[in-house]
Amino acid sequence: MYYTGECFQQTPYPKPYRVVLEAKYLCKCVAADTGRTVEPLTKEEKKLLSHFRLLNYDAKAALAEYSARLHKDDIFLWKQWMEQPFEIQLQMAVQRMGGSYD
């Protein structure tokens, strides 16, 4: 999450914090003021993000949620999952989370 700076003086429905789905998918920390990852991304992480960015919002949210849950529950299994091709990751997440994301 990062701080957007929105408050009730600017809008009646401020969103002071936003989830950075890309960081949640990669399980990376982000700077609170910019929303950018704190540490540089590897070549493989950049490649995964290029695929991730092509998804619609619902698919991104579901994939990020699955990744975060898997990381929390079993980091070893998460690392193995992250080494899979993006299409396999998406397929596994959809199977386990339910739904379809085309």
pLDDT at 99: 58
* Residue 16: closest CA among 31, 25, 4: 4
pLDDT at 4: 61
Domain positions in the chain are: 2-97
pLDDT at 6: 63
Cα distances (angstroms) measured from residue 80 to each of 1, 25, 85: 25, 14, 11
Looking at residue 65, the DSSP 8-state letter turns out to be H
pLDDT at 8: 72
Q: What is the pTM of this model?
A: 0.79
Contacts of 29 (CB under 8 A, 6+ apart): 23, 37, 38, 39
H-only helix segments in the chain = 21-26, 43-52, 57-73, 75-82, 86-97
Question: Residue 98 pLDDT more than 80?
Answer: no
* Residue 51: closest CA among 80, 17, 91: 91
For residue 22, what are its two tokens? Answer: 């890309």
Q: For the segment 76-94, what is each residue's pLDDT rounded down to a tens digit?
A: 999 999 999 999 999 999 8
Q: For the segment 15-63, what is each residue's pLDDT rounded down to a tens digit?
A: 766 778 999 999 998 776 777 788 899 999 999 999 999 999 989 999 9
